[in-house]
Structure 1
Amino acid sequence: MTAAKNNFRVPKKLNENGHEMSFFISSELSYQVGARSTILLNIHALASESQTLVDEKFTVTEGCDCEFFYLGFGQNRFVRIDTHEVSDLLIIYEAEARTNPSSLRIQNINEVPILEMSPDALPYLFPSRYCESDKLGNEARNLFGHINHPLEQASQIAEWIYQNLSYEIGSSDASTSAFDTYQQRAGVCRDFAHLAIAFCRSLSIPARYFTGYACNMVPPDFHACFEVCVGNNWYLFDATRLSSPNGLVRISSGRDAADSAVATIYGDVTLQSSKVSCTSPDFVAPTNDELEGKAIQLGA
């Protein structure tokens, strides 16, 4: 194993408001490589003023070349790996991430019309590959159109999905879309997030896909949630209830999973094992009563 030089620029400034928490994150990916291939990897935690990284380390099997760069709407951090002649590839990423999430009462958050929305939020109003909001407009309006505040709508969308979909590993694949999930009423975290995003966009609420590390999640894995933009700020929801929104470390965000896939393979590569961990000495998950009527702002 060799340590790959990480040339990402990591901001040092921390948020001053709220309670700062430290999370110790790691991921270990093992691949079997049949021939020289390229892997686009998206496992680095996002570095920003609201999420600061310390003691970051990235190692790969000796013989590979790594190129680090930013990509996508959310300035996601990618690594392009050239496997060369390596047949057994091991990738390890470790870091301490410091976050400072905020909990705000929904009734105190003012929405803004589309005319006043930040241009950065506008792409998240449109249908996308996995979030066909144009196909789910009638369903969204029938289920949630009577709710006045967009954050209340997002909260009720997360609740409806949790109550009406079954979390079933193996019930979907890489081609499953939000419309498929709505019909099948089953999926995993990415499917729950895609359906929530599609519903939100159908109601003219900008919504984006979130990939991250989830503290103390069982079983531990990379996790997908969704965010909505209200009043030109982003608020985080998890329709699976497998994580707590203030116990997440952001890896990336995008229109859907196509922008935020953990690994995209070009060549003859097979995943052998994946180990993910996220722990914290500071984090205590809030109760449902404590989250009632509130929205979590993670920043970034």
Structure 2
Amino acid sequence: MAFETKATIATFGGKLLKLSHQSSSTGTPMAVNLYLPPSVASSASSTSPSRKVPVLIFLSGLTCTPDNCSEKGFFHAAASRHNIAIVYPDTSPRGASIAGEDESYDFGTGAGFYVDATQKPWSENYKMESYIVKELPEALFAPGSGGFGDVLDRTRVSITGHSMGGHGALSLYLKHPTLYRSASALAPICNPSQCAWGEKAFGGYLGEDKAAWKKHDATELVRGSDWKGKDDLRVLVDVGTGDNFYKQGQLLPENFERAVQEASVGGVKVNYREDYDHSYFFISTFAQDHVDHAAKYLL
């Protein structure tokens, strides 16, 4: 279904479009923000020819909407410099009218965890993996007035994210390697099947079979046959040592690093940033690094 443009905002020579469309995956309207760099910002709404630009998908963390990072993450300067578009999806369905979906910040609304729920009542609407890897790209890359396929290059896509979105970026990249040229993550939940956030979300969405949880856990996925022994994972991770969630054992980047080493996988870089916390001060400080990382494989 075609997108409705709610707002158009000029930034760093390009345009941030605040969009909405009806999702068949979630059964609800879904908001998504799209940053178009200067080379295609004007042609997205005209018939003038332009070279298609690559795309970086940013998956946000718990409680966030598409507005949070697009307004506070400071990705657009680097995206403009590299001529890359950025897509900011929402973090869950909204208004699904499921009992309890608004009771806590870490489950339900704003906390879809980028999985397809298999447990009722969540399985009807909480299909965020299908939405991110299939429905949203198909809608965005549609040509003509329905989508942005005239200016976005569907063959050049990378993925990044923060916290829960970092989990999403790593796990979706590892599960669907043909879709993305690289992945990166800021303060990601690296081993969700072993932390409180992941246990709550996976238990609620996927049930009590922990074997099913492992299929959405980057630390477990990197040990799989698709990646074991390969040297080109193309992953960048940044974690702040002052992050309270890191200190509380919610992120577990060491577990991911250990799995990478045990699987003899190359192409992974994990940085521990002294004193940085979990906030947008951290995200905005290292946003350029993550756009630069994606650009190495997109351009």
Normalising to structure 1: TM-score of the pair?
0.23
Give the TM-score of the pair, scaled to structure 2.
Answer: 0.23
Larger Rg: 1
Q: Which has the higher strand share?
A: 1
Structure with the bigger percentage of helix: 2
